[in-house]
Chain A
Amino acid sequence: SAVISQKPSRDICQRGTSLTIQCQVDSQVTMMFWYRQQPGQSLTLIATANQGSEATYESGFVIDKFPISRPNLTFSTLTVSNMSPEDSSIYLCSVVYAGSYEQYFGPGTRLTVT
């Protein structure tokens, strides 16, 4: 199974500020994804992080609000910009290894916006 770390594990942020979440994997992966889990809800895909190019966003998510980078095959960042209380969620990254179809998840980042 994968070893995936996320930083920070949790944070409390002020409205209007931005937070960058990091996702680090122990070895090279083909796919990296970012998901959001709002309180008491299921997981929703935000975007696919593409290595060396712009991320592919799902309907309802835009690059200006959730800029994503993936400079190499083991690392990605998600920024939550101009935060509002509605952005309070758990943000999770997931990865798919080459030759596999399992998606493994990082431990998540619990974000609270006040």
Chain B
Amino acid sequence: AQKVTQAQTEISVVEKEDVTLDCVYETRDTTYYLFWYKQPPSGELVFLIRRNSFDEQNEISGRYSWNFQKSTSSFNFTITASQVVDSAVYFCALYGGGADGLTFGKGTHLIIQP
């Protein structure tokens, strides 16, 4: 069975600080896909990134960066120079492909204080 653990329930930082959201996963699949989604207070789920299990390159997109380490089954998400608009719940999710849906972590509520 697949499992995604986001151990940080809530993180609060002051604007402009860097913050890292942790994600640890478990799967028996040899090929799988990892995702991060953002859910602002309005409720919609915004796709941020997908990472394939066979691609361990880290990725940077503006202030966002992701660190995928297969050896530790982790896919962590860092926001650099955080802004108030980054305040949201962030979900890490795992997809085995095909007819399987996503397995979500419990989410991390990120609060950026001005």
Q: How many A-B residue pairs have CB under 8 A?
A: 56
> Which A residues lie within 8 Å of B33 (CB)?
101
Q: Which of B37, B50, B103 contacts A101 (CB 8 A)?
A: B50
Q: How many residues of B contact A (CB 8 A)?
A: 23
Q: Which of A33, A90, A101 contacts B43 (CB 8 A)?
A: A90
B41 contacts partner chain A, Cβ-Cβ < 8 Å: no
Q: How far is the CA of A31 from the CA of B96 in the complex (A)?
A: 13
Q: How far is the CA of A103 from the CA of B99 in the complex (A)?
A: 12
Interface of chain A: mostly helix, strand, loop or mixed = strand
A75 contacts partner chain B, Cβ-Cβ < 8 Å: no
- Would you call B101 and A35 a contact (CB within 8 A)? yes
Taking CB as reference atom, which chain A residue is nearest B52?
A101
Among the 9-residue stretches B14-22, B60-68, B71-79, B104-112, the one with 4 or more Cβ atoms under 8 Å from chain A is B104-112
* Known contacts A101-B33, A101-B95, A102-B50; is-contact A45 B105 (Cβ 8 Å): no
> Which B residues lie within 8 Å of A31 (CB)?
98-99
Q: Mark A52-63, 1 if CB is under 8 A from B, else 0.
A: 000010100000
Q: How far is the CA of A92 from the CA of B37 in the complex (A)?
A: 14
Q: How far is the CA of A44 from the CA of B105 in the complex (A)?
A: 10
- Would you call A108 and B43 a contact (CB within 8 A)? yes
Q: How far is the CA of A105 from the CA of B97 in the complex (A)?
A: 16
Q: Mark A20-47, 1 if CB is under 8 A from B, else 0.
A: 0000000000010101000001111100
